[in-house]
A and B are shown apart, each in its own frame.
Chain A
Amino acid sequence: MLTDITLGQYFPGNSPIHNMDARVKIVLLFIYIVAVFLFDNHINYGIMTAGAIGVVLLSGLPLGMILKSIKPLWWIILFSFGIHLFSTPGEPIFKLWNFVMTKEGIIQGFIISLRLVLMIAISSLLMFTTSPLKLTDALESLMSPLKKIGFPAHELAMMMTIAMRFIPTLLEETDKIIKAQQSRGSDIGDGNFFQRAKGMIPVLVPLFISAFRRADELAIAMEARCYQGGVDRTRMKQQRLHNVDFWAGGIFGVFLISLILVQFTL
């Protein structure tokens, strides 16, 4: 069923990872991803993988959830693996017509795949352990220095919050409309491309109408509550750093320093 998909879905929990401040999580994630692509020492790949697995275990999420989030990108990973396999110069081990597979290619392909997997796994961990509301709040606060140069950080964050808020609603609505039309004998998703595209009309028209209706209602509701963006708005939930964030920062610091040491001394 449509509403079963887990794209960027928050799984409530009470682990240290869940309890971390979202801003800290985003910053650390960012540094981690840069690190994954910067350090190319084999021992470092081990350390980074171990770090990723450690964080996933700490979050208490089932490992299957994380693997599931990698699944949609499986083809991209396989594709880049293939490209590296055949395009890296080095000691040939296998030749197929014009394509030469090299030992270096295997290693390089494996490394690229590992980097992609680590990046996706850790990013989806952020999505799984942070509520969308906290995520956008954090993004807003991280982007707020840009307000000085006229960047609409608050408005952007508000738009993201609203969009995320309505993803499940719209999915649910789509599900309902599909079922309603199926009850009227339509075979949505059957036939060739054109038949299928045509079959989407009975779903898309009601969906758009209801999306516009909802947008309209929301706008009126916000105006009725005198909503004004940006300047001088205070928050109900203040974002504050707690012990867990300092611990996380500290541990991540040690992690980073050891990566750097390994990189430059070994």
Chain B
Amino acid sequence: MSIELKNISYTYMPKTPFEHLALDDISITVPEGKITAIAGHTGSGKSTLIQHFNGLLKPSKGTILVDGVDIGKKNTEAKAARRKVGIVFQYPEYQLFEETISKDISFGPMNIGCSEAETLERVKQAMAFVNLDYDKYAHRSPFQLSGGQKRRAAIAGILALQPKYLVLDEPTAGLDPKGREALMEKFRRLHRERGTTIVLISHNMDNIASYADNVIILNKGKVTMEAPPEEVFSQKELISQAGLELPEVKTIMNELAQNGLEIQNNAYTMDKAVEEIIEALRRKGKC
């Protein structure tokens, strides 16, 4: 099962002088149970693309299948399929509106018809997940929180919907390095423990390198690559054409290889790189 996009095109403000083709004939698959990263330059169409996953935007052309169901239809089956996909938007803290944090997180579950007991259970789970202590924060106003805490409260609002597919649009933008690391670790745990499929939009190739099973590169509304990370990162030209940079580790490994160290040069994460370098040095007989 998967999210499958078939020949999706999307035009903003069609038939006006501002007409803009934001997505151009995109066909991709987001496999279930994996972490898929979408990367691309600013304005390449990433946010536009993910808004198709749960039917917020209707494609000008093409079809979207979530677990085999065409979500463009108007029946209850399509509605249920759309609800399998939860999207955390860029800067989600701007969607908070309720008097208290627990009420705000309840908004989603109540909308989809959960009972009060069920909702409370989900709120508690979601808050625990993002490290917001229920007893301490549940009855505070969301507007009294710090920026990072607001972000986590907003993410909890989506998690409480328990989506099968969780789409994250630059979830760590504007957070400090420590907060970034912690948040990403949470998503990884969610993936591992609940088997949630994750779609991660990111500019940060280092982030992508350490988390993604599958990478999709967008350039000016077109998909230029859809492959596992090691394959994507070996295509230096295509990456820089798309206005992106290789992960730092990969850059260093390339330099080493160029300067004559005989490494395999498949590694793109720190751990693997260390292994490769040690192995190469050993072969050379230096340690």
Contacts and interface: CB of A to CB of B under 8 A. Distances in A.
B80 to A, nearest CB: 12
A182 B83 contact: no
A180 interface: yes
A12 interface: yes
B146 interface: no
Nearest to B107: A184
Nearest to B112: A185
Q: From A185, A201, A206, name the one whose CB has the most chain B CB atoms within 10 angstroms.
A: A185
B198 interface: no
A41 interface: no
Interface residues of A, number: 24
A202 interface: yes
A183 B54 contact: yes
Contacts of A185: 83, 108, 111-112, 161
Interface in B152-191: 157-158, 161
Main secondary structure of the interface of B (DSSP, over half): loop
A183 B94 contact: no
Contacts, number: 57
A182 B17 contact: no
B107 A202 contact: yes
Contacts of B54: 183
B107 A183 contact: no
Contacts of A187: 111
Contacts of A4: 13, 16
Contact of A183 (B16, B17, B56, B143): B56
A127 to B, nearest CB: 14
Contacts of A34: none
Nearest to A186: B111
A206 B108 CA distance: 16
Contacts of B56: 179, 182-183
Given A12-B17, A176-B89, A181 B94 contact: no
B143 A209 contact: yes
Interface string A1-35: 10110100001100000000000000000000000
A158 B154 CA distance: 36
Given A206-B94, A206-B97, A184 B111 contact: yes
A177 interface: yes
Nearest to A11: B17
Interface in A174-209: 176-177, 179-187, 201-202, 205-206, 209
Interface string A147-185: 000000000000000000000000001001101111111
A210 interface: yes
Contact of B97 (A1, A12, A179, A205): A205
B269 interface: no
Contacts of A176: 89, 94
Contacts of B89: 176, 179-180, 183
Contacts of B97: 201-202, 205-206
Interface string B83-112: 100110100101111000000000110011
Contacts of B265: none
B254 interface: no
B224 interface: no
A186 B86 contact: no
A129 to B, nearest CB: 12
B95 A206 contact: yes
B27 interface: no
Contact of B16 (A6, A186, A209): A6
A180 B107 contact: no
B232 to A, nearest CB: 28
A205 B96 CA distance: 8
B76 to A, nearest CB: 13
Interface in B104-159: 107-108, 111-112, 143, 157-158
A27 B200 CA distance: 55
Nearest to B143: A209
Contacts of B17: 11-12
Interface of B: 13, 16-17, 51, 54, 56-57, 83, 86-87, 89, 92, 94-97, 107-108, 111-112, 143, 157-158, 161
Given A12-B17, A183-B158, 12 more contacts: A4-B16, A173-B94, A177-B94, A180-B87, A182-B56, A183-B54, A183-B86, A183-B87, A184-B157, A185-B111, A186-B107, A201-B97
